Structures are given as structure tokens and as C-alpha cells.
A and B are shown apart, each in its own frame.
Chain A
Amino acid sequence: NAGVTQTPKFRVLKTGQSMTLLCAQDMNHEYMYWYRQDPGMGLRLIHYSVGEGTTAKGEVPDGYNVSRLKKQNFLLGLESAAPSQTSVYFCASSSGDATNEKLFFGSGTQLSVL
């Protein structure tokens, strides 16, 4: 049972380059999330989705775009990477069941922008 799978695991970009991070979940979860993890700042929510075809902004959305064309996939795009986007990115999903809500996380993507 794969759970939440993120690709790639590592990536180095030059300033101004673009890339897409892919998150896939096989638990039929409605909700999906992208967080970034930075030292001393914890996990901050970038964007999230409460269902196929829907997306919404989180705490730190600037410089990122997302798409949820299929229920199982949630893509995070960086159109023009900046050094400030160097971080570890985590995807998470949840069922949306308020009585048993918990997040399932991917293993993370370490991104460096030079």
C-alpha cells in the first residue's frame, strides 16, 4: 500500500527555471495539501484542494500554482523558481471525515534553488 507518493525526491534548479512536483495518493482521499517545511518555521500550507477540480490558497501561496485534475493527483508548480523557494515540500492527504480526520504525508521533496 503506497499511500502518498511524491516525485521527485530531490531537485536542484537555477533561478528562473520552472518545475512541477507530483503528488499521488491511492487512498481515495478527498482532501490534498502542499506544505513547505523550513527550519524554525515548521510546516506552512501553500495550497490545498477539497476535491477534484478545486484548489484554494493556503498561508504562503505566492510563487506557486496547483492543479487537481484527477482525484488521486495534486500537482504543485513553480513557474519561475527563486532562492526563497529552497525548502522541503510535503504533500499530504486526508479523507475529510471529521470524526477520524488525520493527515497522511508523503516522504518529501528537497528542492534547492541556486
Chain B
Amino acid sequence: AQRVTQPEKLLSVFKGAPVELKCNYSYSGSPELFWYVQYSRQRLQLLLRHISRESIKGFTADLNKGETSFHLKKPFAQEEDSAMYYCALLNTGGFKTIFGAGTRLFVKA
């Protein structure tokens, strides 16, 4: 069965500190993984997807198949990064996205 695990419900860091939001997955096929973000009073939106290998708003995420992880990282957190972050996995058929429980990031001034 496919599953996405985000072990931290809340992560609090100081502005300028590095941040890492953890995501582990279980999936029998070749996974396609995403990070979605929900800022206060905004809609849930895509932050990045692993297949694009891109950096968005300073965030990067590397797929580690050996550790079945897709951690989200940013070297220097900003206050505007405070939001709810969801790791998500798209199934092989490409039509069903499963989400983790989410991690709320709070960046303190």
C-alpha cells in the first residue's frame, strides 16, 4: 500500500536558520513525489515536484530511493516561509495523489 509519512507536525526555526521538513514514503512502484504548500488564507498549491529537479523559493527536495525519503530543505528560512507543507505521492497510473499529514513550519523573527 502506498503511504506518505511526515513525522513532524510542527517545526519552529529562527529566521536565517536552515530548515528541513522530513517526508518518507512507501510505494511498490516508481514514485512521483511532490511538495504542496498552504500559506495563511491561500489555497493549497504546488511548491515543487521531484521530476522537475527545480528550486522554488529557495527550497529543494531530493528523492532518495534507498531511504525512501523526499525531504524538503532550505538553507536560510524566511518569515514568509511560515505555512503548512504537505508531501504527496502520485500513483503509477497517474490519477491518484496521496498526501502526508502535513508539517506546519513556523519561522520566528
Contacts and interface: CB of A to CB of B under 8 A. Distances in A.
Given A44-B99, A59-B98, A90 B49 contact: no
Nearest to B9: A40
A101 B36 CA distance: 13
A58 B99 contact: no
Contacts of B94: 96, 98, 101
Contacts of A44: 99
Nearest to A48: B96
A44 B3 CA distance: 11
A105 B38 CA distance: 10
Interface residues of B, number: 21
B96 A58 contact: yes
Contacts of A40: 9, 101
B43 A43 contact: no
B106 interface: no
Interface string B5-24: 01001000000000000000
A58 B46 CA distance: 21
Contacts of B36: 103
B86 interface: yes
Contact of B99 (A43, A96, A98): A43
A95 B70 CA distance: 24
Most chain B C-beta atoms within 10 Å of own C-beta, residue among A50, A90, A101: A101
Given A43-B86, A96-B95, A107 B102 contact: no
Nearest to A31: B95
Interface string B91-109: 0001111111110000000
Nearest to B49: A102
A13 interface: no
Most chain B C-beta atoms within 10 Å of own C-beta, residue among A42, A59, A106, A107: A42
B34 A102 contact: yes
Interface string A55-68: 00011000000000
Interface in B9-61: 9, 32, 34, 36, 43-46, 49
B90 interface: yes
